[in-house]
Structure 1
Amino acid sequence: MVGVVENNIQRELQLLLMKNLGSSMLPGILVALILFLTLKNPANESGLAFWLIAVSASKLFDVYDAKRIIQRGITLNQTAALKIRLMLLHAIDGAAWGSLAWLSLPASTSAGSVLILAVLAGIAANSMSILSPVLPVFAAFVVFELGSIVYAVISLNDPAYWAIGIAVALYVVTLMGQAYNSSRTVRNSIQLRFDNLELIQQLSAASEKAAKALTSAERANAEKSRFLAAASHDLRQPIHAQGLFLEVLQTTNLSPHQRELVNSISSATNATTEMLHTLLDYSRIEAGVVEPQPRAFRLQTLLSKIENELAPQANAKGLLYRSPETHAVVYSDPALIELIIRNLVSNAIRYTHRGGVLVVCRKQQFRLSLEIWDSGIGIAPSQFENIFSEFQQLGNSERDRQKGLGLGLAIVRKMVNLLGLELHLASRPGRGSVFKLSLPLTQVAVLSDDISTVPQKMQQLHARVLVVDDDAIVRQAMAQLLAEWGCHCDLAESKEESLILTRRHPPDLIISDYRLRDHCKGTDVIQAIRSACNTEIPAILVTGDTAPVRLREAAASGLPLMHKPVSPALLYAELSALLERNRQVTITQH
């Protein structure tokens, strides 16, 4: 490896030298011509003419040879032979220049001798800048050029010239030192360039490796999302139908034992539904379809609702659930705050086996600290970040479904970030935990709390409803439930069948699954039916999809969107509201 690097450096140095030769060719020939014209006389004219031709030919051949080698290219195993070639050629060039001293010094005047020595010294200095990248080549040139001068001076056997010879020898030493420094500088520069190239290659390789790893991770994440979305959709269909059938079953005459069984089935269904809705909440956040709708609201109404729903779970485990009343009015999105608190309280109950859960509010200047305390298993400080990751659960290595999916705290963190709030955690293993959510207080008067309630008594709706779903069991369950609510129900599994039924009996309301067979969408079906009837028939979209792209598409439709498994009570409330609104519009138009 070291040999390869050294050969690469030598090749670059040789290329640099040969590229420099062209710049000295014409000036060198002109200097030789001027010397010929200045120094010639009848006694030495023929010798100087031969010298001029030799110097010019040497210059021309050096440049021609260099261009030819550059065009052909230099392989790594050619560098040693090329160095010898360059040394030989420039030794000849140096001897050619130095021979001027033999030819001219004996018959020159003092002024002519000074001119000859000055020009040859200048030629040597100029050659240093050109040839020093390959130090042996410059050494060959200067030794033969200035060596010829020294030899010529000594040959004159004149003590007056001996001092000149000594000065030339010292000049050679000085030039060699400068050439050495110049050579090291150029070499270090090339070495640095190779080091940088090697570093760039290493960084490129590392970057490419990181990019491949990122692509692989993104692909795995996308595949995970697609799998979860597909699995969630397929699970929601039968559970959605099961919930509808149970609602119909509960309205029939049942023996006490049968009712107990139905209640047990409902409890199991609700547990599964809760996990599916947790997946849905997470998917909605990932899809970016959750948009905060902040307003002033009384926190106590929300806390009472959560207590009514979750306190029975705490009581069933023998835990004490306390939530002292607060009169605070806060400014945020009540639906998202409810989601945060519900997940935190559910987690507190799930991981507490003795003691209890306390939900308390403390005013802190212009903010309210909503705190959920528990006396549960606690969390080690090293796990504080991990618990907010997806599918992370402490103390559930056996993957007990009673302990959820490990998405609750991941949803909490995303909701807190979305609302721009702060959540703090303090905990000690075996001693319990406290989550503190900081909420902005407001002095805005709140006339009523808009928290949806489900009517206790379901009145007959007396409407014709078109149900579009490609799952036969879901259609059957929906038909039986709607019949209990006094509706005439038409069932279709495709857009074409929907239009046929519409022509026979125009519907008062449409309930359509979002994703149908053959890549058909419920929005397309609803639009086609409305166009056929030439009226804006009320419609509800129902979907079991949790894929982010599907959630964004469905949310963008502007239609009421319900997620499977649909709560019958919420479905009834939505149907009632849409039908009543449509009746009011019809009365106004007439």
Structure 2
Amino acid sequence: MTVQTGIAGEASLHRRIAKLERINAALMGHVERSTDQRGGAYALFQTAITLEGRVRTRTEELTGLMHRLERSNAALVAAKEEAENANRSKTRFLAAASHDLLQPLNAARLSVSALRDLPLGPDAGLIAGQVERGLQTIEDLIKTLLDISKLDAGIVRPELRAVSLPDLFAGLAASFRPFAERKGLRLVARCPDIAATSDGMLLRRILQNLVSNAVRYTRRGGVVIAARRRAGAVRIDVTDSGRGIGADEHDLVFDEFYRGGGKGSEREVAVAADPAEADGPGLGLGLSIVRRMAQALDHPLALASRPGHGTRVSLTLPLSPVPAAAEPHPAPVATRLSGARVVIVENDAATADALTRLLRNWDAHVTTFRDGGAVAAAVRVGGADGSGAGLRPDILILDYHLDDGACGLDVAAYLRALSDAPLPVIITTADRAPAIKAEVVALGAELVHKPIKPAQLRALLTYMLA
């Protein structure tokens, strides 16, 4: 019994020992796990602290970069505004300067034209022609520089409408064919009966410069102006058989004052808005104007050329969904103005004198005044009742800008109010502001920009007096 009790007690003791060992093992495992967890948490804590420091550093760097970017953007905006202001100032300066430069140029051209109408010897006529061509070159340069300035400043606003390409091509061919034939060149215009969406005046100037450039610098063969439909668009090609342009010059020919490549190069970039100047020396501005006008119209421009294979300049235009409206054709003009009573109001003495001589050479009766006050005085002298019996003009030629801020339109309104019959009016100015054109149109007058082209003036006078 005692032995059995002892055995039972020993077994119980072993069980307790085993239980205690299991409890101890469990406790040790728990302690170890707790220790591991504390170590992991501490490691994570240290890692978090490190990452936080890095994030703070990167945030500070990013904030600094953002502040620098903001300052840089502000500087760019200020620089852009300054450049735009400078561009606008340049445009205003060129507009004012061109007006002042074109005034004496206008007088000089009118005087030379009047001189050429006089009986001259061969040498004198030749010299007069050379002077006239020189004045034309100066005028082209001034106008072109002003056009470039306006295009760069975004002042030119294209008026998009349907433009009849056959009519445009016919006019170009008629203008340039005599000068091409004089050089022994063929000039061919090919155009289906289509209309494109563009600004008629700007498109005409683009093509005038391209055709002038092609005729001027092609020695043999000819020039082709062609239009083709291309997937809902119209592509106009001006192709010549000249010497061509090397690949290294393709990106340069549209730059200002660029003149062809090497020694003896036939091609120079030219400008000749007037076809009569198609054989004169180029100014190196024609294709620069072409590029700017094409950009203003959003008409893609492309050049393809190889030395010895000629050159093709292409312009792509949207195809117009509607046909172009027919433009009125003026009646044929006579060649003489004999007996026409012309009143001129011009504050520039040289211009007034030259214009008076020119019109008298055309056998017109001319009365010239400096301002509206002199006109009113002549009216009062001419008729005691204020009817202006001594001043009965058939047509008025009035300068827009008169002295002391006066305007030629006011003179026109004054004399029209005294006239029993409709009184035609021509307004002359070197100022090409759109607002002036709108005022002249509203008055029902004709606008002629200075320098005045005598042939244009003569045709307009005869047409208006018909």
TM-score by length of 1: 0.57
Pick from 211, 217, 220: which aligns with 2:83?
217
Pick from 152, 166, 171: which aligns with 1:302?
171
Pick from 349, 357, 367: which aligns with 2:222?
357
- Correspondence list, 1:413-562, <5 A: 413-417=291-295, 421-429=299-307, 431-438=309-316, 455=333, 457-460=335-338, 462-467=340-345, 469-501=346-378, 503-504=380-381, 505=388, 507-523=393-409, 526-527=412-413, 537-545=423-431, 551-559=433-441, 560-562=446-448
Pick from 144, 159, 167: which aligns with 1:291?
159
Structure 2 residue 118 is the aligned partner of structure 1 residue 236: no
Structure 2 residue 213 is the aligned partner of structure 1 residue 331: no
Which residue of 2 is the match for residue 200 of structure 1? 66
- In the TM superposition, residue 375 of structure 1 has moved relative to its aligned partner by 4.2
Which residue of 2 is the match for residue 570 of structure 1? 456
Identity of aligned residues (%): 30
Q: Quick check: which has more Rg, 1 or 2?
A: 1
- In the TM superposition, residue 476 of structure 1 has moved relative to its aligned partner by 1.0
| CA distance in 2 between partners of 1:576 and 1:533 (Å) | 20
Against the structure 1 CA distance between its residues 540 and 400, is the aligned structure 2 distance closer, same or farther, given a 3 Å change threshold?
closer
RMSD value, Cα: 4.5
* C-alpha contact 1:298 1:446 (8 A) present in aligned 2: no
> SS state of the match for residue 473, structure 1?
helix
Against the structure 1 CA distance between its residues 459 and 372, is the aligned structure 2 distance closer, same or farther, given a 3 Å change threshold?
same
Structure 2 residue 263 is the aligned partner of structure 1 residue 263: no
| CA distance in 2 between partners of 1:500 and 1:375 (Å) | 63
Letter in 2 for 1:512: L
Which residue of 2 is the match for residue 342 of structure 1? 208
1:482-527 Cα distance to aligned partner (Å, 9 max, x none): 3334544343334544544455545554333333444444445545
Against the structure 1 CA distance between its residues 471 and 437, is the aligned structure 2 distance closer, same or farther, given a 3 Å change threshold?
same
> SS state of the match for residue 188, structure 2?
coil
Against the structure 1 CA distance between its residues 255 and 405, is the aligned structure 2 distance closer, same or farther, given a 3 Å change threshold?
closer
Q: In structure 1, list runs of 5 or more residues that go unmatched.
A: 1-163, 581-590
Moved more, 427-436 or 531-540: 531-540
Against the structure 1 CA distance between its residues 553 and 298, is the aligned structure 2 distance closer, same or farther, given a 3 Å change threshold?
closer
Letter in 2 for 1:291: E
- Correspondence list, 1:11-90, <5 A: none
Q: Which has the higher helix share?
A: 1
Against the structure 1 CA distance between its residues 221 and 440, is the aligned structure 2 distance closer, same or farther, given a 3 Å change threshold?
closer
* C-alpha contact 1:510 1:537 (8 A) present in aligned 2: yes
* C-alpha contact 1:427 1:434 (8 A) present in aligned 2: yes
> SS state of the match for residue 180, structure 1?
helix
> SS state of the match for residue 329, structure 1?
coil
TM-score by length of 2: 0.70
| CA distance in 2 between partners of 1:400 and 1:331 (Å) | 28
For these two proteins, the number of residue pairs brought into alignment is 409
* C-alpha contact 2:301 2:315 (8 A) present in aligned 1: yes
Pick from 228, 238, 242: which aligns with 1:372?
238
Q: In structure 2, list runs of 5 or more residues that go unmatched.
A: 1-29, 272-279, 382-387
